[in-house]
């Protein structure tokens, strides 16, 4: 893993203020939390501006899937993580965050997954402004996306939001785990606190799951299954609600 970019919290170092610096700071903590800037390359197929995605785009992304319901469910989970995770991670570590609003982002859909993200705008929200982050990520983006999803495939609203909640939790867990591995207890505690703040403000996620606050690995426990077990030979995700139903 690359060296972690300093946040400048009390040590005199400069806090990143350009979106490129924020993306570098997030990527230095968790390598897979990466995104690009600008419009998508014309030669690369599968890109859509997030504010123009239709049910037909989702249909195209899951062509060839064996179980359509499972495919759409997993696409929702992948999409939510792809479009929100980088911004949530920046917020989690106290940085300004690139806007995850639908009008500011493009995503590449292929093979039933959201494969890449581009921030089309360089707009950033202020560090610790959880209200504006919720508006950008949820009100302007994931809420209308859920409506599009349910026009494509009949899925329970609780399942859809549980998938989105798990994707958001994964972003927070990734940067919390990075802080834990580096022995940065202050950042670890701050990430957990900010995660709780966001969950409290994003009312769509109420009842979809919870962090195990007493756990060293700070696991996320879902309240609804994503259906992956149907195509995985019976395997379940970490924190799956079916494990608890079965007494595991």
Q: Rounded to the nearest 5°, which phi and psi values hold at 245?
A: -65, -35
Chain segment 21-42, per-residue pLDDT in tens: 999 999 999 999 999 999 999 8
Distances (CA, A) of 206 to 161, 201, 223, 247: 9, 9, 10, 24
Q: CA-CA distance, 163 to 150, in Å (whole number)? A: 14
Distances (CA, A) of 204 to 88, 107, 119, 161: 16, 22, 24, 7
Chain segment 157-184, per-residue pLDDT in tens: 888 999 999 999 999 999 999 999 999 9
Sign of CA dihedral 131, 225, 178, 3: negative
Half-sphere exposure of residue 125: CA atoms within 13 angstroms, side-chain side = 25
For the beta carbon of residue 246, count every other beta carbon within 10 angstroms: 9
* Nearest in space to 104 (alpha carbons), one of 141, 147, 143: 141
Tens of pLDDT along the chain (248 residues) come to 334 444 544 444 556 679 999 999 999 999 999 999 999 998 899 999 999 999 999 999 987 767 888 889 899 999 999 999 999 999 999 999 999 999 999 999 999 999 999 999 998 999 999 999 999 999 999 999 999 999 888 888 888 999 999 999 999 999 999 999 999 999 999 999 999 999 999 999 999 999 987 657 788 887 755 554 444 455 555 655 445 544 44
Token pair of 235 as six digits: 């395997």
Q: Where are the domains of the chain?
A: 19-245
Question: 237 and 222 in contact (C-beta within 8 Å)?
Answer: yes
pLDDT recorded at residue 69: 86
pLDDT recorded at residue 68: 83
Q: CA-CA distance, 26 to 224, in Å (whole number)? A: 29
Q: CA-CA distance, 92 to 218, in Å (whole number)? A: 15
Q: Rounded to two decimals, what is the model's pTM?
A: 0.87
């Amino acid at each position: 893993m690359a060296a972690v970019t300093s946040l400048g919290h009390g040590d005199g170092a400069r806090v990143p203020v350009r979106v490129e610096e924020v993306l570098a700071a997030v990527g230095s903590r968790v390598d897979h939390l990466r995104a690009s800037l600008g419009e998508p390359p014309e030669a690369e197929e599968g890109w859509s501006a997030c504010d123009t995605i239709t049910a037909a785009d989702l249909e195209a992304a899951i062509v060839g899937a064996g179980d359509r319901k499972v495919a759409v469910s997993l696409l929702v989970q992948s999409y939510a993580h792809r479009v929100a995770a980088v911004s949530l991670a920046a917020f989690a570590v106290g940085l300004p965050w690139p806007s995850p609003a639908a009008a500011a982002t493009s995503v590449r859909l292929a093979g039933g997954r959201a494969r890449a993200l581009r921030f089309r705008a360089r707009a950033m929200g202020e560090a610790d402004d959880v209200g504006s982050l919720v508006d950008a990520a949820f009100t302007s983006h994931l809420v209308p996306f859920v409506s599009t999803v349910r026009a494509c495939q009949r899925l329970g609203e609780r399942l859809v939001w549980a998938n989105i909640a798990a994707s958001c939790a994964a972003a927070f867990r990734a940067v919390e785990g990075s802080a834990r591995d580096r022995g940065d207890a202050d950042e670890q505690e701050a990430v957990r606190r900010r995660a709780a703040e966001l969950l409290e403000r994003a009312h769509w996620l109420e009842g979809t799951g919870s962090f195990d606050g007493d756990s060293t690995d700070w696991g996320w426990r879902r309240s609804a299954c994503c259906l992956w077990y149907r195509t995985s030979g019976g395997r379940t995700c970490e924190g799956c609600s079916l494990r608890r139903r079965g007494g595991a």
